[in-house]
């Protein structure tokens, strides 16, 4: 960047500002101040820093830009438009059309426009992740940086530098106040992720007013304590200082970098004291016109892009990116010839495709009255799948020995500071960040999973919800699923959590009832490539059903099925999930011996069952049979649809208690005797 180019640099920055102002004002909704203040940072990153080809926005080795302060979304849309980022089709291939058109910006925050109030992944190429809740974006960026380290470690060779990209995240005071950001920063510092750079907009403003109201910590000192390299820029408008700071990040080889950038929110607006309004509300057309005049741009022309600005981006980012992509294509072509097996793995990863034979090692479990805990069978199935799916990677929030989520086969290894090739991740006790990080890894093409105790979905819910919003096939392994936790007591016994997880649209909640249901639920979930799945698994043993006497476990793919039946139309239907399926089976055996016609329905995944045809649902739950009993160690709420107005529910309506799990079940009346009594009470 030369001194002679300063005029076009300023013009490009000011164009980002005016497009953002006009869009917010036209919508009469949004936040103009932050895009105005941070326009120089976005400009410097895209046009003079990032290894990014606008014509190939899904290039695997591209640098990533994450706008964590998602309320500044117009900043991203303006830059993507000016940079000429291309749209992509359903297969992720460039179409040649712009990702963000000027008319999209003109329809900011309107239904049908990809320019939503906060960036939404999948709405337009160039939006790397959904950043609504503050802290989510920076947390995703840690997962993206970890993914690059893992990919480079496993696939780069001395001759083939396939993966070598940086992750830049632009964040605000609000992001860094959120606890999840600190969790993520702590792990990033521990792992020494030197490919990760957060640029912190230190503007001293939140929606309520000055940050002094609630935030007075020394951010630099905190991040230094977390193991980060900290660089300061006194003025966000100083492009040379930004260039120098980014250079210090690129030169740092042993830790992530935080660049603290001092900005004035709404910079350029004539009434600079109106910082609160600039952040949280449109400026008003009069003030927009005055700001444009101050920039030297036509005051009365809306959505104006001066001649030469798009060409300026094309001459810098466009040329640099095209050259970099062309060079990478040559490396990739040679790699495919030199390392065909590794290249085949990467082709599967790039396509989001499961490799041939991925499920051939999934075990079939022998019938056993003693059975096993589903957390144990889950561990066996997980290992059988991950051994065949080379890009499956994940870990636990410090609980791998308990939730059996560690990969134990030869070569699995650990992902550790400076040793990034392993597939076992160690998140520490950071559940919320874990969920956000595995989202970032999934967005990078890996098939990621995260594990903890089910009760701690309280901490993870934000990240799980974003998995569903972004259609990411993340798997959540959630053990210790009920009052069966026993002695640990109410704080560790999930009660409302099944209902809460089932309430997340787009999340498939699997609660398998025996070891073979675990296997078939995994087989089903792995083939869902556009939604997350949650596996809710027991600590206590449960019978492994004799499938020669019941329906095959493969019926789990339909979400609910008749596992045991009587001759003719049943008089009563017993239904359950997880460990309570066994109570239904035992109750049915007793009732059948007494001459009753009983059907047992296993419901491992309500979401899948609800998606089946009306004819199939009727075949499982005939409308004529209104005598139904549902059994689950959770709340009734999500069962009402299936038991009907005449049905009965055996489960929880309070929190749990501390004691041996069998005694806790008796204490709350979740027993075979209770199921039998309910069936006879109609």
Check 148, 431, 555, 580 and give the catalytic one. 431
CA-nearest of 353, 351, 340 to 527 is 353
Residues near 420 by Cβ (< 8 Å), separated by ≥ 6? 146, 149, 150, 152, 153
419 DSSP assignment: B
- DSSP one-letter code for 314: I
Phi and psi at 602, nearest 5°, equal -90, 135
- In DSSP terms, 201 is beta-bridged to 172, 261
Which residues lie below 8 Å from residue 483, measured CB to CB, with a gap of 6+? 493, 495, 633, 652, 656, 657, 661, 664, 665, 668, 670
* E-state strands within 28-187: 64-67, 86-88, 94-98, 167-172
Biggest CA–CA distance in the chain, Å, is 94
Q: Is 431 a catalytic residue?
A: yes
> Which helix H or strand E contains 153, and what residues bound it?
helix 136-155
Beta carbons within 8 Å of 26's beta carbon, 6+ residues apart: 106, 108, 302
Residue 208 to residue 483: CA distance in whole angstroms: 42
The answer to whether residues 47 and 57 touch, using CB atoms and an 8 Å cutoff, is no
Spatial separation of the C-alpha atoms in residues 56 and 94, rounded to whole Å: 6
Distance CA 511, CA 485 (A): 15
Q: How many CB atoms lie within 10 A of CB 569?
A: 10
477: closest CA among 504, 515, 450, 507? 450
Q: Which residues participate in catalysis according to the annotation?
A: 431
């Amino acid at each position: 960047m030369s001194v002679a180019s300063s005029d076009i640099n300023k013009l490009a920055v000011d164009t980002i500002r005016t497009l953002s102002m006009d869009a917010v004002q036209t919508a009469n909704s949004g936040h103009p101040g932050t895009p105005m203040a941070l326009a120089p940072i976005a400009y410097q990153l895209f046009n003079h820093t990032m290894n990014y080809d606008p014509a190939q926005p899904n290039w695997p080795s591209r640098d990533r830009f994450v706008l964590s302060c998602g309320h500044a979304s117009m900043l991203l849309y303006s830059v993507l438009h000016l940079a000429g980022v291309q749209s992509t089709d359903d297969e992720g291939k460039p179409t040649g059309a712009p990702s963000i058109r000027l008319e999209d910006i003109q329809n900011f925050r309107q239904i049908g426009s990809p320019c939503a109030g906060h960036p939404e992944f999948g709405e337009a190429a160039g939006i790397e992740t959904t950043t609504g809740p503050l802290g989510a974006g920076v947390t995703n960026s840690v997962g993206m940086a970890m993914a690059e380290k893992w990919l480079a470690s496993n696939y780069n060779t001395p001759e083939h530098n396939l993966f070598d990209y940086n992750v830049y995240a632009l964040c605000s005071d609000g992001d860094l106040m959120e606890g999840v950001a600190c969790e993520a920063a702590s792990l990033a510092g521990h792992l020494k992720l030197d490919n990760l750079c957060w640029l912190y907009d230190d503007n001293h403003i939140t929606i309520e007013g000055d940050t002094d109201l609630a935030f007075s910590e020394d951010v630099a000192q905190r991040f230094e304590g977390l193991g980060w390299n900290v660089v300061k820029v006194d003025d966000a408008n100083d492009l040379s200082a930004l260039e120098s700071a980014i250079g210090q990040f690129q030169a740092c080889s042993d830790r992530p970098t935080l660049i603290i950038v001092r900005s004035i929110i709404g910079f350029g607006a004539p009434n600079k004291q109106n910082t609160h309004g600039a952040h949280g509300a449109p400026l008003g057309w009069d003030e927009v016109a005055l700001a444009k005049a101050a920039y030297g741009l036509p005051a009365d022309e809306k959505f104006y892009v001066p001649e030469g600005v798009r060409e300026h981006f094309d001459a810098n980012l466009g040329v640099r990116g095209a050259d970099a992509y062309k060079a990478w294509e040559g490396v990739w072509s040679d790699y495919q010839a030199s390392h065909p097996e590794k290249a085949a793995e990467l082709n599967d990863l790039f396509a989001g495709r499961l490799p041939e034979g991925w499920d051939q090692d999934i075990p079939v479990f022998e019938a056993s009255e003693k059975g096993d805990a589903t957390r144990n069978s889950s561990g066996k199935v997980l290992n059988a799948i991950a051994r065949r799916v080379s890009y499956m990677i994940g870990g636990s929030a410090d609980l791998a020995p308990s939730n059996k989520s560690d990969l134990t086969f030869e070569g699995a290894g650990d992902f550790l500071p400076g040793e990034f090739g392993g597939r076992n991740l160690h998140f520490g006790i950071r559940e919320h960040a874990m969920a956000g990080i595995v989202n970032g890894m999934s967005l990078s093409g890996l098939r990621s999973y995260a594990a903890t105790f089910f009760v701690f979905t309280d901490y993870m819910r934000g990240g799980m919800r974003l998995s569903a919003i972004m259609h990411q096939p993340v798997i959540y392994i959630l053990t210790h699923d009920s009052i069966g936790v026993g002695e640990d007591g109410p704080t560790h016994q999930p009660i409302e959590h099944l209902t809460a997880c089932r309430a997340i649209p787009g999340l498939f909640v699997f609660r398998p009832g025996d070891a073979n249901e675990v296997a078939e639920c995994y087989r089903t979930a792995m083939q869902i490539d556009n939604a997350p799945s949650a596996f809710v698994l027991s600590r206590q043993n449960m019978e492994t059903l004799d499938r020669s006497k019941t329906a095959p476990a493969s019926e789990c793919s339909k979400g609910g099925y008749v596992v045991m039946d009587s001759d003719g139309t049943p008089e009563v239907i017993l239904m359950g999930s997880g460990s309570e399926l066994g109570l239904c089976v035992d109750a049915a055996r007793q009732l059948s011996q007494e001459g009753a016609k009983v059907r047992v329905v296993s419901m491992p995944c309500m979401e899948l069952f609800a998606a089946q045809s009306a004819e199939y649902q009727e075949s499982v739950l005939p409308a004529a049979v209104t005598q139904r009993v549902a059994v689950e160690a959770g709340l009734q709420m999500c069962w009402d649809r299936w038991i009907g107005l005449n049905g009965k529910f055996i489960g929880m309506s309070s929190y749990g208690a501390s004691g041996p799990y069998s005694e806790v079940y008796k204490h709350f009346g979740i027993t075979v005797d209770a199921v039998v009594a309910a069936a006879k009470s109609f």
